[in-house]
């Protein structure tokens, strides 16, 4: 991958990773629930899940999934169910004071698995693979470059959303404001289910 191709991909990845979507809503809610440090497993789960997805799609295995309409429908069904479950969990998340007493934000495994059911993740991965794979190199090397660059960008952009959630935590000084914030995050995430219906 040339320097120009890498720069173009990093710009694409930054725009894709920083814009609102289900993963960023989850990161913001995790930051609000437990702060930045307690939200890091969620951030690393998002990064690892997206990197693996980007690698798999760029390596060509994603095309196999997308070529089978029945499998796509099953993935959409599981994705919608998981998004709704996570929306409910976020909407009913404990207040920040309760979170520090033992409740935890979404962890590494939950955030990792979530990427495979997240419609935005599939859209970004397939778009990136189609537009930015360099020619002339082995599929393994190309997929590794794309995944490696993407995980760095996702972690940096995701940290912004996690920190924003942690900053919101300081503003959530009453049980009522915290419940309203959690409910808003849950509703926003539930609305992303509409992406699965397109």
Give CA–CA dist 146/142, Å, rounded. Answer: 6
The pLDDT value recorded for residue 97 is: 47
Angle at 53 between CA 43 and CA 114, to 5 degrees: 50
User: H helices then E strands: how many in the chain?
Assistant: 10, 0
Question: Which is more confident, 9 or 93?
Answer: 9
Confidence (pTM): 0.77
Residues 182-195: b if buried by 16+ CB within 10 A, e if exposed: beebbebbbebbeb
Angle at 122 between CA 136 and CA 139, to 5 degrees: 20
pLDDT digits (tens, 9 = 90+) for 51-100: 999 999 888 776 676 677 777 677 667 767 777 777 787 777 665 544 44
Angle at 111 between CA 107 and CA 114, to 5 degrees: 145
pLDDT surpasses 80 at 152: yes
Per-residue pLDDT band at 197 (split at 50, 70, 90): low
> Left if phi > 0, otherwise alpha if psi is -120 to 50, otherwise beta: which for 19?
beta
pLDDT digits (tens, 9 = 90+) for 106-127: 889 989 998 888 877 887 888 7
pLDDT digits (tens, 9 = 90+) for 157-193: 999 999 999 998 888 777 787 778 778 877 877 776 6
Q: Which domain holds residue 121?
A: 3-197
Q: What percent of the chain has pLDDT over 70?
A: 83
Helix (H, G, I), strand (E, B) or coil at 26: helix
Neighbour tally for 169: CB within 10 Å = 21
pLDDT surpasses 90 at 41: yes
DSSP label of 174: S
Q: What percent of the chain has pLDDT over 90?
A: 22
Helix (H, G, I), strand (E, B) or coil at 92: coil
The pLDDT value recorded for residue 40 is: 95
Most distant CA pair in the chain, distance: 58
Look at the chain and report how many structural domains it folds into.
1
The pLDDT value recorded for residue 196 is: 54
The pLDDT value recorded for residue 163 is: 95
Question: Which is more confident, 72 or 34?
Answer: 34
pLDDT surpasses 80 at 147: yes
The pLDDT value recorded for residue 158 is: 95
């Amino acid at each position: 991958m040339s320097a120009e191709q890498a720069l173009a991909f990093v710009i694409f990845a930054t725009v894709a990773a920083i814009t609102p979507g289900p993963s960023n809503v989850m990161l913001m809610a995790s930051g609000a629930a437990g702060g930045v440090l307690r939200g890091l497993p969620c951030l690393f789960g998002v990064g690892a899940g997206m990197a693996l997805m980007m690698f798999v799609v760029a390596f060509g295995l994603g095309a196999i999934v997308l070529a089978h309409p029945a499998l796509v429908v099953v993935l959409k069904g599981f994705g919608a169910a998981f998004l709704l479950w996570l929306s409910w969990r976020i909407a009913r998340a404990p207040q920040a004071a309760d979170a520090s007493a033992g409740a935890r934000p979404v962890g590494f495994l939950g955030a990792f698995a979530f990427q495979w059911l997240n419609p935005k993740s599939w859209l970004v991965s397939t778009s990136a693979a189609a537009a930015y794979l360099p020619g002339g190199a082995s599929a393994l090397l190309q997929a590794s470059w794309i995944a490696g660059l993407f995980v760095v960008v996702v972690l940096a952009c995701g940290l912004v959303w996690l920190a924003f959630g942690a900053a919101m935590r300081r503003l959530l000084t009453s049980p009522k404001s915290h419940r309203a914030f959690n409910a808003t995050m849950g509703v926003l995430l539930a609305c992303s289910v509409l992406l699965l219906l397109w």
